[in-house]
């Protein structure tokens, strides 16, 4: 009887194991096996992060790049889903969808290298190669999870997990990858029933290891020298040129506006004070949008400037205009506060002695209010230095023309160049520190000077 029960239990256990193997357990075990095999391969990544070779294999990848963000706008007037812009067509494309990864490999690349997506070993090699490049380019961004499935396809349109992926789609001579719900829904919406998160896309071209040369990354001072050799310093020069030009305009306009507003009646003072101050409380993107409406090609002002051959928007003067508008209120408020704190009896006494208004302003008001004006100038300089939203709206992102340091930080990070973005972040921090340091030193100097004057008079 016991023997019969043992055989029965053994038979039931065998049936269960067979069912698990056929219907559920095979992908799990395969994933564990692939993960183990992936970890056993060694990958050599080039110093610039665009090439990689799986050691002791004939396969390599070239032209690697990573897009941390896509766009959800219409392309050519048609909504095709969440969109990633490809560097060019016929590329191997990786889409990280948080809970799984989809990799599209063009059939032409498979045929050229003799790869097959039906071959488990080839898929493991591809995963190893692409994961190494993607992790190297991630920087501080999201990395591909280690315990999620990878789907490989050579089809230009591929459906999986309720999503439809369209790869290497050419529209108006540009190549795109589109992701949309199988029911045509927007997969980027927070309330999407699919409950997914699109993390990023990566691109590469598969090649032969024999024709792909890997340059090992430099270390120490050699790496630092190589970094600065390849670095584009144009954002620094554009930022300094823009900020210095803007601060001259802000200095003159802020002082004149403060002096002029004090000569108005109380009612009109309140009106113009609100007008001059409002850019300080509006979001920079709102300021940029309003400037775009006021100075764009469809506005009378923009059309006039276009007619004389001096377009304003998406040009370097637009970066100056954006910086002036957002930083002007700091200069204006500092100057006006300094003028209001002056003793009116002293100013009236100067007038009774026959001083003209211009002489009172330049010989009396400016010298007495100079410490506050200087502090306002430094604050306005710092604000213009860090301007991003209005500049991007009005001037765009043109390297060497309108790309300032804040814009460079954003787009370098978007392009996966975390090291460059970090460098420019450090530059902004250092410049901001210097501005604050100068303000503090100036304030202490002027305060000490005034105390000395008071002690001498007493």
pLDDT number for residue 324: 95
Res 318: pLDDT: 92
Q: Do the Cβ atoms of 200 and 68 come closer than 8 Å?
A: yes
Q: What is the pLDDT of residue 156?
A: 94
In a domain, 182, yes or no: yes
* Residue 367 Cα distances to 239, 252, 339, 360, 446, angstroms: 30, 15, 11, 10, 11
Tokens representing residue 151 in the block: 């789907």
Indicate if 290 and 396 belong to the same structural domain: yes
* Residue 201 counted as domain residue: yes
Q: What's the confidence (pLDDT) of residue 356?
A: 84
d(CA 15, CA 322): 73
196 shares a domain with 236: no
Q: Which residues contact 383 (CB under 8 A, 6 or more apart)?
A: 326, 327, 330
Which contiguous run of DSSP H or E holds residue 45? strand 43-45
CA 235 – CA 391 distance, rounded (Å): 13
| Number of domains into which the chain is organized | 2
Same domain for 204 and 108?
yes
Dihedrals φ, ψ of 123, to 5°? -65, -40
Residue 435's Cβ-count burial label (10 Å; 0-12, 13-18, 19+) is middle
d(CA 3, CA 142): 56
Residue 17: what pLDDT?
44
Is 11 a member of any domain? no
CA 444 to chain centre: 38
Q: Please indicate, yes or no, whether residues 302 and 425 belong to a single structural domain of this protein.
A: yes
In the DSSP assignment, the letter for residue 144 is: P
**CB 371 within 8 Å of CB 442:** yes
Domain that includes residue 84, residue range: 34-219
- Three-state DSSP state, 302: helix
Tell me, yes or no, whether 87 and 159 share the same domain.
yes
Which helix (H) or strand (E) covers residue 400, if one does? none
Do residue 187 and residue 247 come from a single domain? no
pLDDT reported for residue 153: 94
Q: Is the pTM of this model over 0.75?
A: no
CA end-to-end distance (rounded Å), the chain = 117
- Do 159 and 215 share a domain, yes or no? yes
Domain final residue pick, 219, 246, 280: 219
Domain CATH number, residue 442: 1.10.3720.10
Task: Give residue 43's pLDDT.
Answer: 84
Residues 192, 284 within the same domain: no
- Residue 422 within any structural domain of the chain: yes
Task: Please indicate, yes or no, whether residues 250 and 167 belong to a single structural domain of this protein.
Answer: no
SS3 63: strand
How many whole angstroms separate alpha carbon 234 and alpha carbon 408? 10
CB 183 within 8 A of CB 194: no
212 lies in the same domain as 250: no
Q: Is residue 23 part of a domain?
A: no
* Residue at 379 is within a domain: yes
**Which residue numbers in the chain have pLDDT < 70?**
1-40, 189-194, 216-218, 443, 446-458
**Same domain, yes or no, for 339 and 375?**
yes
Distance CA 66, CA 68 (A): 6
- Given 165, 199, 219, which residue is the final one in a domain? 219
Long-range contacts of 22-28 (CB under 8 A, 24+ apart): 27/149
Q: pLDDT digit string (tens) for 296-352?
A: 888 888 888 888 888 888 899 999 999 999 999 999 999 998 888 888 888 888 888
The answer to whether position 13 is within a domain reads: no
How far apart are alpha carbons 151 and 42 in whole angstroms? 22
| 26 within some domain | no
Pick from 161, 195, 219: which residue ends a domain? Answer: 219
| Same-domain pairing of 245 and 202 | no
pLDDT digits (tens, 9 = 90+) for 135-165: 888 877 888 988 899 999 999 999 998 899 9
Longest CA–CA separation in the chain, Å: 127
- List all residues 6 or more positions away from 64 whose beta carbon is below 8 Å from its beta carbon: 49, 50, 51, 52, 133, 137, 202, 203, 204
């Amino acid at each position: 009887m016991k023997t019969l029960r043992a055989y029965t239990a053994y038979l039931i256990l065998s049936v269960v194991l067979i069912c698990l193997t056929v219907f559920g357990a095979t992908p799990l075990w395969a994933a564990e096996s692939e993960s183990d095999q992936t970890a056993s391969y060694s990958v050599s990544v080039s110093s610039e992060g665009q090439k990689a070779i799986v050691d002791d294999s004939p396969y390599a990848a070239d032209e690697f790049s990573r897009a941390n963000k896509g766009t959800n706008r219409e392309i050519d007037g048609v909504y095709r889903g969440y969109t990633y812009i490809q560097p060019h067509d016929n590329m191997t494309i990786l889409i990280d969808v948080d809970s799984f990864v989809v990799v599209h490999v063009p059939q032409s690349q498979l045929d050229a290298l003799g790869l097959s997506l039906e071959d488990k070993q080839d898929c493991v090699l591809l995963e190893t190669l692409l994961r190494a490049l993607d992790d190297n380019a991630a920087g501080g961004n999201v990395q591909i999870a280690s315990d999620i499935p990878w789907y490989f396809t050579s089809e230009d349109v591929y459906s999986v997990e309720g999503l439809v992926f369209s790869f290497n789609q050419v529209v108006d001579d540009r190549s795109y990858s589109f992701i949309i719900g199988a029911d045509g829904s927007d997969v980027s919406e927070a309330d999407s029933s699919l409950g997914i998160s699109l993390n990023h896309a990566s691109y590469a071209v598969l090649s032969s290891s024999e024709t792909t040369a890997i340059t090992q990354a430099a270390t120490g001072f050699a790496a630092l020298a190589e970094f600065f050799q390849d670095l584009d310093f144009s954002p620094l020069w554009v930022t300094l040129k823009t900020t210095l030009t803007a601060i001259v305009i802000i200095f003159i306009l802020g002082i004149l506006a403060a002096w002029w507003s004090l000569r108005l009646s109380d009612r009109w003072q309140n009106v113009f004070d609100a007008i001059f101050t409002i850019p300080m409380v509006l979001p920079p993107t709102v300021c940029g949008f309003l400037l775009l409406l006021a100075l764009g090609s469809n506005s009378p002002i923009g059309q006039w400037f276009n007619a004389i051959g001096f377009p304003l928007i998406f040009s370097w003067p637009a970066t100056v205009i954006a910086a002036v508008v957002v930083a002007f209120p700091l200069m204006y408020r500092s100057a006006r506060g300094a003028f209001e704190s002056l003793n009116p009896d002293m100013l009236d006494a100067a007038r009774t002695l026959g001083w003209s208004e211009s002489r009172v302003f330049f010989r009396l008001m400016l010298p007495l209010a100079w410490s506050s004006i200087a502090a306002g100038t430094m604050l306005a300089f710092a604000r213009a230095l860090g301007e991003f939203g209005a500049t991007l709206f009005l001037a765009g992102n043109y390297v060497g023309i309108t790309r300032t340091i804040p814009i460079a930080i954003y787009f370098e990070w978007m392009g996966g160049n975390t090291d460059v973005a970090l460098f420019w972040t450090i530059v902004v921090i250092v410049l901001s520190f210097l501005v604050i340091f100068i303000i503090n030193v100036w304030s202490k100097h002027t305060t000490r000077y005034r105390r000395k004057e008071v002690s001498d008079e007493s």
